[in-house]
């Protein structure tokens, strides 16, 4: 008796849908991980495929993030019972305008801000399971505090409405918990900018 079940398709779209939530030969390499190294992205993709609606083919990720940003901020307003300003704003340090950040939303007194990420469903689910925002954005988090000395809290919001559960999550980062990193990277930026200015001055004469 054969160990396999065979399905044939005339439509490629049906074939694509059939592959969702399954470990195929092309997915195995994205799932296999060495013990103790943590799960690879393919593992979270399998979970996401079972919890999320398929996204349109050819979707522009940047445009999707922009479209969903307002919804995410509104959810944060409701959760925190505060009114965050959501406009096109650019923050610069007064003592060094080359050190800057673009906040997604902020309180009028500048003590709290929001950074929104509308990532892939796999990345979103990974953050839910690990209970932490993605490491690749830690420098962006630091920059908020480096630029704005008055900032006390950054709300790192992740939003994926295609998910049937936990489509909105928020991580609260407090200045007091990352003071060492803020100081370290502020000094690093200042030194790099000095080096840039020196080279520009040398090449200008």
How far apart are alpha carbons 193 and 191 in whole angstroms? 5
Q: In the chain, how many domains are there?
A: 1
pLDDT tens over the chain, length 205 residues = 654 344 555 666 655 555 555 544 455 555 555 566 666 666 657 666 666 666 655 556 666 667 789 999 999 999 999 999 998 888 888 888 888 899 999 999 999 999 999 988 888 989 998 999 999 899 899 999 999 999 999 999 999 998 888 999 999 999 999 999 999 999 988 888 888 878 877 887 7
Q: Kindly state the tokens that stand for 138.
A: 């830690």
- Could you give the count of Cα atoms lying within 13 Å of 104 in the half-sphere of its Cβ? 24
CATH of the domain at 117: 3.90.320.10
- Where in the sequence is the domain holding 192, given as residue range(s)? 60-199
Closest CA to 171 of 128, 203, 140: 128
Note whether residue 42 is domain-resident: no
Please indicate, yes or no, if residue 41 is contained in any of the structural domains: no
Rounded-to-integer distance, Cα 48 and Cα 36, Å: 22
pTM of the model: 0.75
Give the DSSP letter of residue 114: E
Q: Please give the full DSSP string across 46-109, using - where no structure is assigned.
A: HHHHHHBPPPPTT--HHHHHHHHHHHHHHHHHHHHT---B-S---EE-SS-TTSEE--SEE-TT
Q: Does 183 fall in a domain? A: yes
Q: Is 6 helix (H, G, I), strand (E, B) or coil?
A: coil
Confirm whether 45 is domain-assigned. no
For 122-135, give one letter per residue: b (16+ CB within 10 A) or e: bbbbbbbeeeebbe
């Amino acid at each position: 008796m054969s160990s396999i079940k065979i399905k044939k398709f005339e439509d490629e779209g049906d074939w694509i849908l059939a592959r969702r939530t399954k470990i195929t030969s092309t997915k195995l390499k994205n799932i296999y991980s060495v013990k103790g190294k943590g799960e690879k992205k393919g593992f979270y993709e399998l979970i996401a495929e079972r919890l999320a609606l398929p996204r349109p083919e050819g979707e522009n990720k940047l445009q999707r993030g922009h479209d969903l940003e307002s919804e995410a901020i509104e959810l944060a307003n409701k959760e925190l019972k505060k009114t965050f300003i959501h406009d096109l704003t650019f923050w610069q340090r007064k003592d060094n305008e080359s050190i800057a950040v673009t906040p997604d939303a902020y309180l009028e007194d500048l003590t709290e801000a929001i950074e929104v990420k509308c990532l892939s469903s796999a990345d979103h689910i990974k953050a839910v399971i690990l209970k932490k925002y993605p490491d690749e954005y830690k420098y962006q988090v630091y920059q908020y505090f480096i630029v704005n000395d008055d900032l006390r809290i950054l709300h790192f919001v992740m939003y994926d409405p295609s998910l049937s559960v936990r489509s909105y999550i928020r991580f609260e980062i407090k200045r007091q918990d990352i003071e060492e990193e803020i100081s370290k990277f502020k000094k690093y930026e200042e030194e790099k900018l000095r080096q840039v200015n020196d080279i520009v001055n040398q090449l200008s004469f």
